[in-house]
Amino acid sequence: MMRGAPGKAMLRYAMGRLAWLVPMLFGVSLVIFLVLHLIPGDPARMAAGPDASEEDVQQIRANYGLDRPLATQYAVYMGKVLRGDLGDSFTTMSPVREGIARTLPATLELTTAALLLAILAGVPLGVFAASRPGSAADSALTALAVVGISLPGFFLGLLLMLLFAANLGWVPPTGRGTWRQLVLPALTLGLPYVATFARLTRASMLDVLSEDYIRTARAKGLSRRNVVYKHALRNAAIPLVTTFGMDFGRLLGGAVIVETVFAWPGMGRFLVDAIMARDFYVVQGTILVFAAIVVLVNLAADLVNGLVDPRIQFS
């Protein structure tokens, strides 16, 4: 963020950031396109099936333009993208944007639930630890946070599935449709971020609580609750919002793993299935949408920081 006048400056800043979305997505599409073509295997043969004749495979290559030079293939694909066409799936023959429209709500539902868990649990735990530095509770929360951050998503998911679904039978192990089916995927995706938010909140609160204006507020006789939640937490929230924006891409990456483990019908599982089938257009389209979401979330985080802290201005 940069210094400048508020109001119109914030709008200009947002429009400038959005303008960078186009070259960023261009770069992402180019990298993914080249990587996919470096992976061994023939997508046309995989789409045709093991019993297809060579003529059928050649026909699929011609239909999808896979027999053209790479530069031509990329130029044709980007021309379609600029018109809002992400291509057709090799395996289902349906438009990629229809598959994304079908699976994106499930991913947004999962990531929203995980973020709510991280905020509603991680921030209060961090405030509690910061208000009692050096105590047994502070040490315990710090140790648990390290464990939570260190556990791989797939391992945590399998542990939760084994305990709460297989042994206790409290919730279904897979699928989507009811809130009970959301519990295990949201816990798996959100618990590491509970730990991250708790540690970051604790560190930010400790820094803020040592500031002169906090000591002044205490000297005026304000209650501990008012000092912590009304004065300290607002300034301590700025690094939280920044970290949320920076880590949102990692959250979407975790969603890919979690959706695969729990058979959650979101974009992450859609992407994994497409990678296994070497479905070029689906892989490129889903990654482009993921990249656009990350950029927009980072922009929103910057704007929220400007609203939380009036000292932050835009140009």
Name every residue whose Cβ is closer than 8 Å to that of residue 61 and which is 6 or more positions away in sequence: 44, 67
pTM of the entire predicted model: 0.81
3-state SS class at 2? coil
Per-residue pLDDT band at 2 (split at 50, 70, 90):
very low
Residue 178, phi-psi category: left (phi > 0), alpha (psi -120 to 50), beta (remainder):
beta
List the single range of 47-51, 103-107, 158-162 with lowest mean pLDDT: 47-51
Is a pLDDT exceeding 70 seen at residue 306? no
Per-residue pLDDT band at 4 (split at 50, 70, 90):
very low
CATH 3.40.50.800 fits 96-277, yes or no: no
Provide the residue ranges of all domains of the chain, joining segments of one domain with +: 1-90+279-315, 96-277
pLDDT in tens, 60-107: 788 777 788 888 888 888 888 888 888 888 888 889 999 999 999 999
Residue with the larger pLDDT of the pair 174 and 53 = 174
Per-residue pLDDT band at 311 (split at 50, 70, 90):
low
Rounded Cα distance between 280 and 195, Å, is 36
Residue with the larger pLDDT of the pair 42 and 69 = 69
CA atoms within 13 A on the CB side of 275: 14
> Is the CB of residue 240 less than 8 Å from the CB of residue 197?
yes
Rounded Cα distance between 13 and 31, Å, is 27
Residue-level pLDDT at 110? 93
Continuous H helices in the chain:
8-19, 21-38, 43-48, 54-64, 70-82, 96-117, 123-130, 136-150, 153-160, 179-209, 212-219, 224-225, 233-261, 267-277, 280-308
Residue-level pLDDT at 97? 92
DSSP labels, 218-253:
HHTT--HHIIIIIIIHHHHHHHHHHHHHHHHHHHHH
Rounded Cα distance between 232 and 84, Å, is 46
The token duo for 173 is 């192990």
- The pLDDT mean for the chain works out to 81
The token duo for 25 is 């997505």
Is a pLDDT exceeding 80 seen at residue 122? yes
For residues 22-44, give the mean pLDDT.
Answer: 82
Residue 91, phi-psi category: left (phi > 0), alpha (psi -120 to 50), beta (remainder):
alpha
3-state SS class at 88? strand
